[in-house]
Amino acid sequence: MISPAIPLTETRDLRTGTVPWRDSDWHAPRSGAIPARPVDVAILGGGIMGSILADRLASSGRTVAVCDRRTPGTGSTAASTAQLMWAMDVPLAVLSAMLGDKEAARRWRRVFAAVERFGQRLDETGPELKEEVPTLYLEGKMLEGDALAREATLHRKHGLPSQYLTAKEVAERFGIAPRAGIVSSGTFAIDPVRTCHALLASAQARGACLIYPVDIVSLHPNRHGVELASSDGRIFSAKDVVLATGYERARLFLPEAFSLLSTFAIATPPYAAPLWNERAMIWEASDPYLYVRVGPEGRIIAGGEDVELADAGARDTLLPRKAGAISARLAKVLGQETIAWDRAWAATFGSSPDGLPAIGAARSMDHVWLASGFGGNGIAFAALAAELLDAAIGGKPDDDAERFDPYRFEA
């Protein structure tokens, strides 16, 4: 039993500043009532993770309830720069040194497959939801010289669509400052809030209910599976519960290895893009790295400068300095003298030792599952979580499930 005296999840100020997505484009699906009857799956969290899960589980014929303490999509999801890439923050060569070539490649290929299938799902939901663009991974301190070329060779060896380019080739093709890179396909950009709302609406069309604002504060095993109780005394039951609460961690379930940090981003005024070719999403083999994409209204969105702190006050104090640093790094990458910005924001972010998420059954209570997309690929990991948990809740665990188990770092 989880006592109401112990918070089920953290409550955090997840973001500060002005994001590039227009509030006028946010049309959250309607909120309904707490279910009067037990449901098959209750999802706690209506952000991009919860919405992808809800769409998948509802399409499998399950009764689903999604609960969020905010309007869905307005927490960490709204702070996302929404670059949907299958490449990990931890390079394949580095992960291979940790796990062995076969095991590392298996994890990368599993994420690649999940991203590919999620792209197909977005096309079915609404062809305007995604923009297919290549990614350009630039040489940095993590992969310098021949190491970057070897990384590209590893990608190709394991069937991942990548090509190594020399500094001259990068400059000629993309029109940026010369720097060696790996260009990859099978990647795309989205508007994270709009996509979140579209997927929740799709789930609702299949009978899912969405309840917000509601704060679920305790879980209790019962004859149906799990009883969920809200802060205002409302109660309902579910056969299974998925904790998709993002960076407001469920500390009683999520191991300490999955930690929090802060990240920063800027956006230029409208119609600043393009300053490079093919609208490519650009990032660096560095830690922390700079990442760049073209956003709505022709804005350039750039972010990075992560710091290992989770206190919102300390994070927000750093925002002006970090925004300036991002602008300077962006100008250098693009071969420009300066880059002006009119929007800047800071947000809580999550990491893990191997750059991979926590997906799987919670140890401390039956019928409770974790879907924590910690690492640099939160939306890609949400697509993966939907596949793995759909299989696990259905009693047919995926062959790759143990590779993303939340407790894999424990002795």
Q: What is the CATH number of the domain that holds 157?
A: 3.30.9.10
What pLDDT sits at residue 22?
80
- Position 382 scores a pLDDT of 97
Asked if residue 150 and residue 27 are part of one domain, the reply reads no
Same domain, yes or no: 409 and 298: no
The torsion angle over the Cα atoms of residues 34, 38, 39 and 42, rounded to 10 degrees, is 60
Q: What tens digit of pLDDT does each residue of 159-183 get?
A: 999 999 999 999 999 999 999 999 9
What pLDDT does residue 6 have? 66
310 with 374, same domain: the answer is: no
Q: Are residues 329 and 228 in the same domain?
A: no
> Which pLDDT value is given to residue 5?
52
Q: What is the pLDDT along the chain (411 residues), one digit of tens a residue?
A: 444 456 899 999 999 999 998 877 788 899 999 999 999 999 999 999 999 999 999 999 999 999 999 999 999 999 999 999 999 999 999 999 999 999 999 999 999 999 999 999 999 998 889 999 999 999 999 999 999 999 999 999 999 999 999 999 999 999 999 999 999 999 999 999 999 999 999 999 999 999 999 999 999 999 999 999 999 999 999 999 999 999 999 989 999 999 999 999 999 999 998 899 999 999 999 988 899 999 989 999 999 999 999 999 999 999 999 999 999 999 999 999 999 999 999 999 999 999 999 999 999 999 999 999 998 789 999 999 999 999 999 999 999 999 999 999 986
- Per the structure, the complete domain to which residue 99 belongs is given by 1-129+187-254+355-411
Spatial contact of 180 and 166, defined as CB atoms under 8 Å apart = yes
Res 1: pLDDT: 46
Counting Cβ atoms within 10 Å, is residue 163 exposed (0-12), middle (13-18) or buried (19+)? middle
Q: What is the pLDDT of residue 251?
A: 87
pTM of the model: 0.95
Question: 334, 351, 368: which is the final residue of a domain?
Answer: 351
Residues 274 and 384 occupy one common structural domain: no
Considering the domain architecture, whether residues 265 and 341 belong to the same structural domain is answered as: yes
Tell me the per-residue pLDDT of 356-379, one tens digit each, with 9 for 90 and over. 999 999 999 999 999 999 987 899
Which of 351, 372, 390 delimits the end of a domain?
Answer: 351
Do 123 and 17 have their domain in common?
yes
pLDDT value of position 181: 98
Q: How many domains does the chain have?
A: 2
In this structure, the answer to whether residues 57 and 203 fall within a common structural domain is: yes
215 and 119 inside one domain: yes
Q: Which of 351, 372, 392 is the last residue of a domain?
A: 351
Q: Is residue 238 exposed (0-12), middle (13-18) or buried (19+ Cβ within 10 Å)?
A: buried
> What is the distance of C-alpha 392 from the center of its chain?
21
**101 and 51, same domain (yes or no):** yes
Is residue 281 located within the same domain as residue 406?
A: no
CA nearest to 247, candidates 42, 45, 18, 34 = 45
Residues 237 and 168 in one domain: no
CATH at residue 28:
3.50.50.60
Where helices occur in 158-253 by DSSP H, the ranges are 167-174, 192-205
